[in-house]
Every structure is written in structure tokens, then in C-alpha cells.
Amino acid sequence: MRLDGKVAVITGGASGIGACTAERFIQEGAKVVLGDIQVDLGNKVADQLGDSADFFKCDVTSEDDVSGLIDFANDTHGGKVDIMMNNAGVVGARGPITQIPIEEFEATIQIHLIGTFLGIKHAAQTMKERGSGSIINLASTAGVNGGWGPHAYAAAKTAIVGLTKNVAAELCRYGIRVNSIAPGSTATPLVAKAHLDDHEAISDVKERLAELSPILGRPGQAIDVANAALYLASEESGNTNGHCLVVDGGATTGSKPGDPPYSTPEPFLREGGKSGI
């Protein structure tokens, strides 16, 4: 019971990584409040999770909604929020830089960056009063490497990594830690929609990701990110602050599916004469 007695708020909790993390946190003793714009799905997920979960309708681009979400969690759970996971997200604006309408670029930044800012701001307010807390922000490998996602998405995720570090430097003096997670491609409705244009095609997208993964045959899954979030939420990460935890099977190392293993001599002379490690 690594989160025994803790209260967690998770935005984007109706689906994918957020819903999976809620389940994982509850298994470890937490109470969870899910915030999302998908009301029917959010209520359904909360019902399935049982008495330890509640749903609150929240659009993370609205400051009133985000402060309402934190107030709801405080009111429901005796005035405390121990863990805030800023996870809500969309793929957002796509296409070549010359063709992206400003409204679409701004809307993507609003959901990811402004949504994360508002989540940090209102969670920090209540955490400061109690002198403890863990804030976890969803970044992406698209925020770590160039060319790994659409422009607005990558810009927002890069900014989330930076905001995390900067706020960590302020809030550590109040006993609050702030970290981010950068998942690689993870089989969720968001990625199923992006790869296969069908947000329900989770098992098909798992197969596709298994082919692309550096750990051959092992797709990134929501539970991988949930377990990383569990570590950052728990006291086990008590001295980890401002960190970006990459959960991508090694994709950001440049490792590709089928690359020879590090321990063999082959990487020194790859096919085509390209030198390896």
C-alpha cells in the first residue's frame, strides 16, 4: 500500500493513461478524483473503480473548472490533495508549420501547457498549506527529441518539461515535489486515433507499437506510465524533484527495433559502415 491514505487528482482521468493510473493508485490505497471533459465516460470509469473514485467535470483550459476540481477533492476528502497528475491531452494541431492555423496551435497549447499550469497553480495552493505534495506532469518524448510529434504538441510538451523544473525549484521549499513523465508511444485511445484513425483500436495499435518498439515485441502500455507515476507519487521518490522520467523502451537513445545488443561487437561495424556505440 504505497499510497495508503493519499488523495490524488488526475486530469484526463476518463481514458488511457489517466484511467489506468487511477486504478493503479487505488490498488495502492489512494482515493482518486478524476477530472475530464468526457462526462459519461468519466462517470462510468469512476463507477467501475468503486468507492475510492469520484468524477468531476473539468475542462483544464478553464481556471474556474480547475480550481473547482481541487475544491471538490478537498471537500470530498477532508481538505487534502496529496498528488496532482496533470495528464489531460490531445494530439491537437497537425501539419507543416506553414499551414497550421493560429487558432489550432493556440488550442493545443491551451490544453497541454495552460492546463498543466492551472493544475500546478491550484494544487500547489492547497499543498502549500499542508507542507507536502507530489505534482506529476505528462510530457512526452516529443518534448525531449525534435521531430517526434506535431509542432504545437511538441512545443507544449517541451514547455511542460521546463515548467516542471522551474516550479520544482520554487515549491521544494514547501515540501512539494514536481516531476514530469515523458512516455514514448503508448497504446491508448489517443495513439490508436493517431495511428489508425480509430480511438477504439487498442489491440491493433498495440501490435503496431510492438513492431516499432526498441524492446522488440513489447509495446508501450498505459500501465508502464501508471507505474512510473506511482513511483513519483509515492515517498519512494522523496528525493526526486524537477526530473523528467522517460518511459519509452529506449527509443530516445536512438535504439531501433532489431538493433544488435550492446554487448556484442556488431554495433561497432553496422551494415553500411555506420559506426555504432
Ligand X SMILES: NC(=O)c1ccc[n+]([C@@H]2O[C@H](COP(=O)([O-])OP(=O)(O)OC[C@H]3O[C@@H](n4cnc5c(N)ncnc54)[C@H](O)[C@@H]3O)[C@@H](O)[C@H]2O)c1
Nearer to ligand X, 63 or 235 (CB): 63
Nearest approach in angstroms of CB 5 to ligand X is 26
Amino acid at position 55, single letter: F
Nearer to ligand X, 154 or 168 (CB): 154
Task: Quickly tell me which residue has 502549500 as its cell.
Answer: 128
C-alpha distance from residue 233 to each of 17, 84, 198 (Å) = 15, 9, 32
Residues that bind ligand X (CB under 6 A): 11-12, 14-18, 36-38, 58-61, 87-90, 111, 138, 140, 183, 185-186, 188-191
- Helices vs strands, H then E, count in the chain: 9, 9
Q: Is 134 in contact with 21 (CB distance < 8 Å)?
A: no
The β-bridge partners of 135 are 84, 178
Active site residues: 153
Nearer to ligand X, 81 or 111 (CB): 111
Nearer to ligand X, 133 or 183 (CB): 183
In a 13 Å sphere around the CA of 80, the CA atoms on its Cβ side amount to 13
C-alpha distance from residue 273 to each of 16, 214, 258 (Å) = 42, 21, 17
Nearest approach in angstroms of CB 275 to ligand X is 31
